[in-house]
Every structure is written in structure tokens, then in C-alpha cells.
Structure 1
Amino acid sequence: MDIIWNALFFQRLLCLAIAYENIALNKQAWERYPWKNEMLDWGAQRAVDGRKSNLAASGGECTISDNGKSIAEWRVDLGNILNINRIFIQHRTDNFPWGAKNKHAPRFLGFSVIVSNTTKKNDGVLCFKDRNFTLETIPNPINITCPNFARYVIFYNNRTNRPFPAGYSDYAYNELCEVEVFGCSKFGHYGENCSIPWYENCQPCLCDIESGPRLRNVEEYDGQQSNKSQKANLTWNKIPNTHLIRLGDPDGLSSVFYSFAPLFATLFVISIVFNIIFTIRECRNKVRFKDQKKSKAKNQQRMTADTDIHENIYENTEYQELTEVKTTENYIYDKIR
């Protein structure tokens, strides 16, 4: 049982070692209404600098947009159309406990996350739109699963349609202390280690980052309706499995290998552990067998020595004399009687 747990632990470490990377780190960022005082250095780039230990405005690690705006929009350019798995957002807290009493929670409510191949959010795919969170329930930080191909990740919020839901702030803000986009930096690959290649029949926006093909309908942005032709262009179709792994192709074989790499590693470790255990047991059995053999040999020597003494009784003259005396006495006694 311990062997199995050790193998599973080893597999877990292997999976952690090949996790997705932050493909937004230090990439070019932009926002619609930056803070006017540039000396405070609250620009869009702060949200992708890799720092999120100080969540206050004075910490110099957060992006803060200008006051009094009805729209807040921020985006990061990944530099290429890459395969995205999930998006992490850390909102400003001013280092106070997060919750309904934190004055920045109302500014976070109602936000959206979009991924797009252009700088326009309406050209993209809606990953998340907050319609249900309250001051008591909105999480911070938050992880958003969004397996898509895209070049731009866009954070959007607005305060344009009054009346606002309960708890919402009067104006929209970018208060992003960190935005991390996890995915594959190598274009045309998928899987947790981003090492499984796609093939020519699997074009961008047709393959999933984890398993390759999938069928997914695009969720409309902010409740707006689009025409049927736009939906048709954005609908992702499933590709036959024969297009994914071709066993006659070396790349196909390597894809199979990488898919089962964690399983192979686990089995390899288990086999090594079992071999070590069996080797130790065999060595102990050999030592025990030798000890038993030595002990048996000693016992046989003792028995042989005793047997030799008894077998040589009749060759012993002293014993013969005693026998004769005994026989004579018995004869005399019988004669007298």
C-alpha cells in the first residue's frame, strides 16, 4: 500500500513539474483610461509584472485606472495566437480583508473576461461574465477556466445601464494587481506539458488545449445577439480522431508516448520498488538458507560421531570384558539355582 501511495505522490510531483506557464508575464499591456498622474506609476503594465505581494495602491504593483469613468477596459497582448487554459485575476484590496466591508469589492462586481485575436472585445469569445456575485460572495483572487486560442486577454467592466444591481460601485475601474494567463507558449501544441503537436487538419480555434478536438458554441458577449452567419463562423467543430493521432507518423507515436508519460513513469517507479523488495527478500532467504544448512551440517556431524561410538562397541575390548563378566555371573547363578 505504501508503494502505491509513493507512486501516486511521484506522479503528482511530475504533473506539477509540467504545469502550464504564465504566458502573460511581462507582455505588453494597455488600458482605456489610465491614471492621469504618471508619477504614481499605476499603468497597465503593473498587472503583468509578476508581483502581487502588496495589494495596495502605494505598493506599486497594481494597475489603477482614472476616476469617474463609466467604462473600464484593460488588455494584455500575448504576442501571438496562443493556446490558453485558464486566467488568474488578483484584484486590489489595499491589504485589508476581502469581503463586503472592503471598499474595492463593489468595483470588482459585474466584470467580464474576453479572449480575442484582435484588440476589439466584440470580435472575441466571452470567457466569463459576472451576473450573480454579491459583495459577500465575489472571490478574490479568482481563477477562470477558458480553453481557447487567442492573442489578447481583455478585462472589461461598465456602469452604463442604471439602475445597477445592489452593491455595485457608481463608476467602473481597473484595479488589477495581477493578471496571469496560463497556457502553452508553443503554438500548435496541447497537453499539460504542451508537447503534443496538432496536425494540419486541426487549425487554430478548432483544438482544445487539454484533449485536442472539441465542440463548443460561443457565448454571446454581454447578452447581445449576433446574426446566424457570425455564430456559424464562431462555432467550433469536432475533428475526427483519425486526424489527431496517426500511428504511421513518428509524431503520432510521440504524441501517444507523451499522453501516457505520467502512467509510464508511475509504472516504472512501481516496478523498481518491487524489484528492490524482491531482491532484499531473496538475499535474506539466501542468508537464512545458508545458516540452516550450516546448522544441519553440524547436527549431522554430531549424530555421526555418536553413531561411530555405538558401532564400535563390539570392537572395544573393555566393553567385551564387561559383557563376558556379566554372562559368567548369570551362568553361575543359573547353575546354583
Structure 2
Amino acid sequence: MRISVPSIPKVVLSATSPARTITPAAATERIAEFLAPGNVACITGAGVSVDSGIRAYRGDNGRYLNPNYKPIFYQELVDPTAKGFAFRLLLRLRSYLGYKPVKDALPNTTHYALAALQYTSLIKKVITQNVDGLHHKALADVWDPVTAGERILELHGTLHKVHCNHGHTVDRNTFQARLSATNPQWKAFADSLEVTGQKPRTNPDGDVVLEEGVRYDTFKVPECPECLLEDRRNSILKPDLIFFGESLRQEARDRSYADIESCDRLFIVGTTLATYSAFRLLKHALELKKPVLMLNVGPTRADSLEQVEKIELPSGLILRDVVRNVLGVNAMEEANVRRMLSSGVVQPPLDDDD
């Protein structure tokens, strides 16, 4: 079976119809008008996290940014042969080196603007394709993890947990510490990258691009300690996320559909919808006659759908103003909202060889 990176259909990318020109002020007013009735569901993608320093998969032209980079697919990850073992070793090293930049990333102005809209209940549910946990970080001071988990669905899982193929789950920081203890030479290598600032290019899933010729066969993955207690040796562990080629968990799929069904309208931010698990949620909303507004720069899989209203502007440029517009004076009188609207980094990744 041939598995490939999800992409936008070529017919969409080759379309020549220009986006409707709109000023930031007009866009702010239109989005505020759309959100004002409340009970909104919001789908977000990698574009939302770019200002936090996490690269998106696709650029403003909608094309995959790094065609020479090959992610590890689920079928390779669970392959029981020696080839599968080698793939898991490569993934674990790449993920080990790439996790820290994602772990250390901070919510940006878009995360906090959406957090303010959630906190004030205009947005009831956020369905994010991102696995970086930044939506949770933006609400950590006002919501406990249970409340955040009920209001934010991480459709593709999270980088911040690891599980083995027998269901044992461990916090990612604990797992990283185990890997460091097992691989002191790679821990030293990672530390040297930190000191010199020569950080490898990190992708949204916490995977990195390694230079040609890097020997990864010296990297060791410790056995799952819970499996050892059950008299079983098992080193097949993976981040608690959905890999390319892996089926969406039924629980996540059911909940995402329920979130769309319970909302009155759908707001889509920072995603090309190239991944079908998100695109079908848009299709479901349209089947249910829900109004849909999209805020994204560049081509998307939804561009051929006349029912979708699209605004082509960076979310970080206008979303805080949208919150101020839709909430009025209350936006500055409520201390938590006021704090959110003055928070957020703007640290997009440096240009590289993309």
C-alpha cells in the first residue's frame, strides 16, 4: 500500500482565482460579526503555531515546504521486521532531538486571542490538528486540565505523552529523561546543539531533519518499564499522536463530529485542510448548513467550495482586534481577557532552505 503526505489537490493549487481583497479593519469587523452570536466551533492547524517558532508543513503557496524530507509513516513504525526496528530507532532519535523546541515553545497572539474567545464562551469548542499543546498553555492560568480537555480536542493527539503498543502511557518529560540516561552521548550532542544554537530544523510533529550520514544506529530505546513488570520485553513506544498513514482514533473522530453538530457556526484558522480528517469536518458542517468562515493565507482544500467564506490575512495581524471588537468594553474590564490580549510571542521561524 502506497502512503503519501496529505496534499491539496493539484486542481486547487493551479486555480487562478484570486482571493478577495480586504483590509485588516474590514476583516476584523467581518470576523467579529461572524463570531458575535456565539456557540462557535473552531478548527485550527499548523499556521496558528508559526508565530511560536514552529514551522508549518506548507507555505503560503500551499505546497509542501520540504519535498526532500520524508516523515516516518505508521506502517514503517509498527513493522515487526529489522527494517521496522531501524525506522523506530530513526524516529526516536529525530523525535528526541526535536521535542525540546516544541516543549519550550510559547503561545503566540493567535493562541491567546482564541483563548479569550473560549474563555468568554463565544467559541465553545476548539478542534486542533496541532500536537504542540499551545492552546492548552494559553488557557493554563484560567482553566484546569480537565476543563481544557473538555473544550479543546487534539484531533491528532499530543507530543507531550508517549505510549507503548500495550497501552502503557508515560509523560513525555519522563520518557525524554529515560532516553537521555540510556544515550549519554546523544544527550551531550543535544546539549551541544543548544549551546551553539545549531538546532536542527523541527517540523510541527516534533520530528527533525538530520544531516546526511548521521549514524543513528547507536541510539538506544529503553524497554517499557510497565511491560517489564508484566514479564514482557517491549521497546515499541511512540508519541501519543497520529502518524501519517495511521487511522484517526474512533473516540476523537466521534467527538469531533459531535463538536461540529453542537455548534451553530464554524470558524477555521491557519490550516490548508490538506489532511482529510479536518476537511471532512468542514464537509460535515456544510452538510448541516452551518455558516463557515475561514482565516488562512494561501490555497486551501476548501477553496473550491462556494459555501465557505474565506479571508486571506495572517491571524496574528487581526485576531486580537477581533476580540476587542466583539467583546467591546468588557474586553478590557475583565482581567483575564485583558491579560490574554496583551500576551503572546511573535517569533516566527527564521528563513532557511525551504
TM range (shorter): under 0.3
- Per chain length, whose mean CA-contact separation is higher, i.e. which structure has more relative contact order (CA < 8 Å, sep 6+)? 2
Structure with a larger share of its residues in strand = 1
When normalised by structure 2's length, the TM-score is 0.22
